[in-house]
Structure 1
Amino acid sequence: MKHPKIVTVGVVGAGGFIGQYHLKRLSTVIEGVRIGAVYDINREKCDAIAAQYGAVSEATTEELIESPDIDAVVVTAWNAAHADLTRKCIAAHKPVFCKKPLATTLEDCAAVVQAEKEAGESLVQVGFMRRFDPDYRKIKEILKSGELGAPLMAHCVSRTPRIAPSHTTAMYVTNIVIHEIDLFRWLLDEELVKGQMLFPRSTSLAAEGLADPQLALMWSESGVLIDVEAAANSYYGYDIQCELVCEKGTIRLPDPAAPIVRSRLQCGFAILDDWSQRFPTAYQMELQHWVDYVRGRVSQPGPGCQDGCAACAVAEALIRSQTTGQVESVTL
């Protein structure tokens, strides 16, 4: 892999919300990078974004990926396109940052892993940004220190006030619980080996036919039990909670720092509205790490193909459980 002083990136899926979010960060707070080209299926929007950032508006993804002016690629397209686009980047020997998930099937994930193996270099970083959140990193440090003994179980909450009309019951796993899947593989330094999805009473705020909320249960190799409440119509705000129960104590993810306001007969703080407000530092740090790796400033790559593949395997087990109602084993 070449290590340019300034990385010229191309962004695929530039017109979507996450694409525009990453473009803004790449152009304002990430060091050592410039935006060279963009692609989006909406050509009018793509041209406007290209003009905004002084970039080339490419007519196809292939032209962007294969351009000699592009050093690396950021993939923020729709989920089903991730595997194909990532393989094309690998074939062009271009480092690629792919937002989660790496692929929507385990078969496609395995194909990406094989392509990178044949390329002979680490080219892929998957957007599991919670690994870069300062508070989750502190949790990992406490676990690693051993001061609280072995972890026994974990309780997690992932609540979103609204969701796109196209959201499906399976997407509670692939788009929401997927974060906790990767997070606990990383926190515990072991694989998740089985899982189950449970359906409580659905909220009246959910679209017809959509199971919301859902409860994921996952077991690690050593027997740690992790439960995750996933809700996409929570109404009141975006709320992420995590508590680990260990032999000698507990570790709890703090709420985001915010002023506590006392007024007549009440006291409290504002609840955030979406993920971009909750995890700005994590999103910044994951992109900075990727750019630094491409530049040769850090030697350790971020979460890669194997992590994306392992997360997909757990997700497939949970999705099977949505149909069977049983505990399903993870098959890698």
Structure 2
Amino acid sequence: MNPRNNRQVRLRSRPNGIPQAEHFEIAQVPVEPLAPGQVLVRNEWLSVEPAMRGWVNAVANYSEPVAIGAVMRAFAAGRIVESTMPEWPVGTAVTGMFGWQDFAAIEPAAIQRRIVDEDLPISTALGVLGINGITAHYGLLEVGHPRAGETVVVSTAAGAVGSCVGQIAKLRGCRTVGITGGETKRRMCIDRFGYDAAVDYKAPDFEQRLAEALPGGVDVYFDNTAGAISDAVLARLNVGARVVICGTASVANWDPPPLGPRVERHLLTRRARMQGFVIFDHPEHTPIALEDLAGWVRAGRLHYVEEVLEGIDSAPDAIAGLYRGENLGKRLIRLA
């Protein structure tokens, strides 16, 4: 690749549901000279998030859909290689919504944060020390309010967010039960992330195994899936339970809304609370979460797994692969 060329993954067509490889295209454009007040970031790592499905669908969720022909919206981490601003010198490690591309010419307002934890891999700024870890920290502690001795259930428990939720709950003195797909991920929940129990939702006797793992019911449910998995958990809520809605990964398309059991009776009879959240609404929580998360990682109390795809050519199919359940831990794309 010409070092002055920028490879970009652009949205080619609008998906209906989960975006597939054919919905994207890779273009190559020159790296233009910087305008005053800009810096040039050379991306080293690109993030792949389940939320990207919502970012490209025609119906806006909490953000405007990515435009057809635009660079795919994505978090990235890299280093400044050119700068017009002395306060942002060359070599500074940064992370932000830089998109699926090799280079990003941006104004500093687009930088989410300067990466100062350089004793830790820069890739962690996109996972355990990035949006995933911060989401887990805020959602569990500020929405779920777990108390020592309570039972916390987490769906997609081996994923980038779920694995953090389970470990933070353990650090708060809770009993943790993970729900995940397949025996490899189920064992990872227990052996790597320290869950007290883990259940495979693909098992034919899933509901029976879930009941056996929850003899005392559920106090906090961190929901990343919706659908049939959540229906089974909601039937086991304790009085005063809190349900944290973080994602709806099991439902490919919400138009029209899927049919299924209603939640109102569960919430009424158990005097339970259900609340959704989007981490972008809470930027003030980032430094609070990062102080805890980085400290736990350094102390060996918070573990993470990164699944690395090589090269920008792997990007177009990366989101679909998440929803096929291929990833183990945080899915990242490493650029050469």
TM-score range, shorter chain: 0.3 to 0.5
TM-score (norm 1): 0.34
TM-score (norm 2): 0.34
